[in-house]
Amino acid sequence: MPDYRLDEEHEQLRATVAEFARDVVAPVIAGYYEREEFPYDIVRGMGEMGLFGLPFPEEYEGMGGDYFALCLALEELARVDSSVAITLEAGVSLGAMPIYRFGTEDQRLRWLPDLCSGRRLAAFGLTESDGGSDAQATRTRASLEGGEWVVNGSKVFITNSGTDITSLVTVTAVTGRSEAGNEISAVVVPSGTPGFTVAGHYSKVGWNASNTCELAFADCRVPEANLLGERGRGYAQFLRILDEGRIAIAALGVGLAQGCVDESLRYARERTAFGKNIGSYQAIQFKIADMEARAHTARLAYYDAAARMSRGESFKKQASIAKLVSSNAAMDNAREATQIFGGYGFMNETPVGRFYRDAKILEIGEGTSEVQRMLISREMGLR
């Protein structure tokens, strides 16, 4: 029979990250959130703990762990705050992982040590104003001239791209044409490269303490050696990264859903109405029971996807299921928690107010819920 209990090493990691989230993140994150300020001190602390290096080998200053360890860390962080959790998720899954999966040994040795240690962050530039999931809508171009890639175009909604410690952005760009359509490749563009401009961060509904920017490239030149992976395989490579990243996003969604349960339980025991704690009323009990069931079900879904991935089995369908189920759970639990808190749930000073604002993007980012349903149905043979 499957055993979903954590082994000693994973449980120790989970407990350590939970303590960090409770003692370091929780007391200060509301201020960062309201100021829309990136929490450099918290990120530095996560780096010192080795969280950015969890799934990478020690030779690159990683922790030598696995992807499931990263997911556990994300869940515990998101129980307190999603801005911090998405900074870690994007820094690892979208920033460092493409370098590790597809980079040459020279590229790994050049960039991974700083990324695995958390001293620097990286981002991945896929989405454009007219395209993201639609690869053929990519407008950014990269042409090879005199041993350099000349990049022109723009990217939108790019997480971790504009911080003071961002070292690079991997950009998907059209590098040629074939009978099948655009040839899309991935090119690494270091921060500070002439012609590479980072616009001011967006004013977002949620994830307000994370960094999200628009990028522009105007005759931006980088060495030919900055091609990441095979020419023409950039989009296919990123689809692999997205499959893995959906497990991580699912873990983040579970954390938010469980955080809603945690806060609702605490409030139900403290808040009185008509002479009794509101937790004694069946209407509140049923809401919290349903919330716990959603979080538990979503957790099992991402555990299953992560287990399949670690065994080297196909996990595309399971990753999409986990992402779909967890984002639904997060959104539903955030709505119910806000209802339980009443007027206080509408205040940004309360965690559930932030949870409510943060939940919606989980149904959109790294593949919308509609895309997940499409992928699941395709994996079932429906075309």
- Hey, is 18 helix, strand or coil? helix
Q: Which residues contact 236 (CB under 8 A, 6 or more apart)?
A: none
Distance CA 168, CA 117 (A): 15
| Tokens 């996990």 belong to residue | 315
Distance CA 186, CA 183 (A): 10
Annotation says 349 is catalytic: no
187 is written with which tokens?
Answer: 């090119």
Out of 48, 366, 370, 379, the active site residue is 366
Q: How far is CA 182 from CA 124, 138, 141, 237, in A?
A: 19, 8, 10, 15
Q: How far is CA 84 from CA 22, 205, 212, 233, 252, in A?
A: 12, 16, 13, 31, 10
Q: What is the dihedral of CA 103, 105, 107, 111, to 10 degrees?
A: 110
Active site members: 366
